[in-house]
Every structure is written in C-alpha cells, then in structure tokens.
A = this chain, B = another copy of it.
Amino acid sequence: MSRDGVKGREAAGDAPKVTITDIAREAGVSVPTVSRVVNGRSDVSPATRARVEDLLRRHGYQRRSAPGDRAALLDLVFNDLDSPWSVEIIRGVEDVAHAAGVGTVVSAIHDRAGSARQWMTNLRARATDGVILVTSALEPLMHEELRRLGVPLVVVDPAGAFALDAPTVGATNWAGGMAATEHLLGLGHTRIGFVAGPARLLCSRARLDGYRAALDGAGVPVDDTLIVQGDFYPESGFAGCNDLLALERPPTALFASSDQMALGAIEALRRRGLRVPEDMSVVGFDDLPEVRWSAPPLTTVRQPLSDMGKLAARTVLGLAQGIEPASARVELATELVVRSSTGPRG
C-alpha cells in the first residue's frame, strides 16, 4: 500500500484502511508485536517499538482508543455464577449498559477473600465507572475500599445483615411470600409446609414473614413443625419435602422459597409416587425461565430479576454522572404466576 494512497483516502475523510498485518509485514515483525505496540504494552523492545510507532504514524493507522479516551465500564459482581438466576440479572444490566455504550464486566468472587481481593485489584486497574453487587457477602473492608476509591455502588437484593451506604434494588419478598400462601389458603389448604431459604439472608426472612402473615390473616395457626430449613438449592428442597412427608400429619401443600427448592420437592414427591398437585400442591419463588417447563409447570412468585438488573444499571450509571437516585431503597413488585403445580385440597 503506498503512502500516497493512504493520504488520498485521508483527504477524502475516510478512515485509512491499513491493517496491523500490513504494518507487521513492513516492519518485519509479528502481528502480535504490532498489536502490543498499538495497545501500549511494555513487553516490546524500544527499537522495535520505535520502528512500529513510526510506521503506524506514517500510515495514519487509526488506533482503537486514544490515551485518556477510556471507554465506560460497569462491574457486575456475583458470589457465584451457578444459577440460571444470575443470567437473568446479567441480561437486564447488559441491556441498559450496552445501549449506553458501557461494557458490563461480569465477575464471580465465590465468597473467597482471595478472589475478592483479586477482583478489587482488577477493578482498580480497569478504573470501572460503577459496581453492581448481587446478594454478595463482600467484606465490609471491600465496601470501605470502594467508597475510598469513589466508585459508585448499587446492591441488588441485599441479602445480608450488613448496613450498606449504597442504594439497593430488591423485590417485594414479603408481599410475594404472602401472595403465595394466600393462593394456597384460597384453594382450601390449611396445613401448608414452608421450605425456608438461608436464615442469614434478609430476603429469606421476608418470605417467611409473608407466609406467617398470610396464615395469621386467615386465622390459621402457624405450626412451626411445618417450617423446614433450606439453602435455595434443589437438594435442600428434596430433603425438606422428605422431612415434611415424614411428619405424622404431613402438609397438603408446600411453599418453597426458591424455584430450585420447589423442583427438588417435586422430585421427592415423584420418587414416592405422589402426584403434583393431586397429592400435594407446590409453589416456588423466582419464576426462572425453566419452571414454565417443569413437570408440571410450576406455580410460583415472579421476581423481576431482569428488571432489577436494568434498574440497578440505570442507578449506577446515574451515580457515575453525579445523579443521586430518587430513593435509596427500591423494591420492585413480585407477582404470583399460577400454573399447574397447585390445585384444590383433595
């Protein structure tokens, strides 16, 4: 490619079409070496760098980004990426960020201090514009560090007992727990089992309190033997359902405070040859895409996970521009979705 040719196109206002392959050939170096020079890496010898820089300049090579012209990034941090739950939130955040020209950096810190420190190191290096934490037990020291760095922070569905000086986006867990229980009461059930989520999470507590409130409202005494402990994963729904079935007077309906526990409970019933909903009604919580196709399709409480992600992204991008959210704590509405796993008391 002749320099005149390049100049001609530059004069016409077009971007010069010289590639780094052209540059590498002319400089007598490899393509990755040119790439390292372009990207400002240090692992190139000074002589090679000078030769490549000279050719880039002479050909008017258009760099992907000029120094100081850093693109916007947003960090979305999970404890784990082991649930279909997480992809719903990623989808919502990505949707808003993508449209704003902002990249969504997804990380998992696995509740490990070493991993969280590594993430914090990476975060400092990439100079993110904002952080969205999802139900994370990120250590208080990390919060302190984020605040010191002046990085805007929004928390989705804050779960722990720690007080955060950051806006939060959640769902109406209490109202959802109440709606699920009222649905079962309305079908004539009075012995309703409850499989709770981890006690350390506020959302678990809110769902349990909603369950109790609905029973109280209907004048049905709360029987603590019908409340079993789970951890949101299917195995604990399976075990919890078995425990309830072993009672002298088992419940006729079961409210699991996560869809995954509801699926575990349905499997426990199936193994005993019990039918859903004929022998036991089951309600979940979350409305993961997959439970529309569980056998039977699951009645559940829809958490607007994707919308929560969208709102968190809008809030943190606003904070990065100095716009404080109208409310520091927002709860989006949950909604009961009735499918085929619940029916009248037999």
Contacts and interface: CB of A to CB of B under 8 A. Distances in A.
Nearest to A292: B234
Contacts of A99: 118
Interface stretch (A67-75, A182-190, A209-217, A239-247): A67-75
A288 B82 CA distance: 11
Interface string A31-74: 11111101110000000000000000000000011011111110
A103 interface: yes
Interface stretch (A125-133, A192-200, A326-334): A125-133
A93 to B, nearest CB: 9
Contact of A91 (B72, B91, B108): B108
Copy number in this complex? 2
A316 interface: no
Given A104-B106, A121-B101, A322 B290 contact: no
B270 A39 contact: no
Given A39-B127, A147-B19, A107 B98 contact: yes
A122 B97 CA distance: 10
A142 interface: no
Interface residues of A, number: 81
Contacts of A101: 118, 121-122, 125
Contact of A126 (B65, B115, B147, B296): B65
A162 interface: no
A86 B90 CA distance: 10
Nearest to A102: B122
B127 A107 contact: no
Interface stretch (A170-178, A219-227, A261-269): A261-269
A260 interface: yes
Contacts of A249: none
A17 B125 contact: no
Contacts of A129: 39
B82 A84 contact: no
A206 interface: no
A94 B106 contact: yes
Contacts of A68: 40, 67
A71 B32 contact: no
Contact of A108 (B36, B40, B98): B98
A263 B295 CA distance: 8
A173 to B, nearest CB: 22
Given A73-B126, A90-B106, 17 more contacts: A20-B149, A32-B320, A35-B150, A39-B70, A40-B68, A64-B151, A65-B124, A65-B126, A72-B125, A73-B105, A81-B90, A83-B289, A103-B122, A105-B105, A234-B292, A264-B293, A295-B295
Interface of A: 17, 19-21, 30-36, 38-40, 64-65, 67-73, 75, 81-84, 86-87, 90-91, 94-95, 98-99, 101-108, 115, 118-119, 121-127, 129, 147-152, 234, 260, 263-264, 266-267, 270, 288-290, 292-297, 319-322
23 contacts: A19-B148, A19-B150, A31-B150, A39-B127, A64-B125, A65-B126, A73-B105, A75-B103, A81-B94, A83-B289, A86-B87, A94-B107, A95-B108, A98-B119, A103-B107, A104-B105, A104-B106, A105-B106, A106-B106, A234-B292, A263-B294, A267-B293, A270-B295
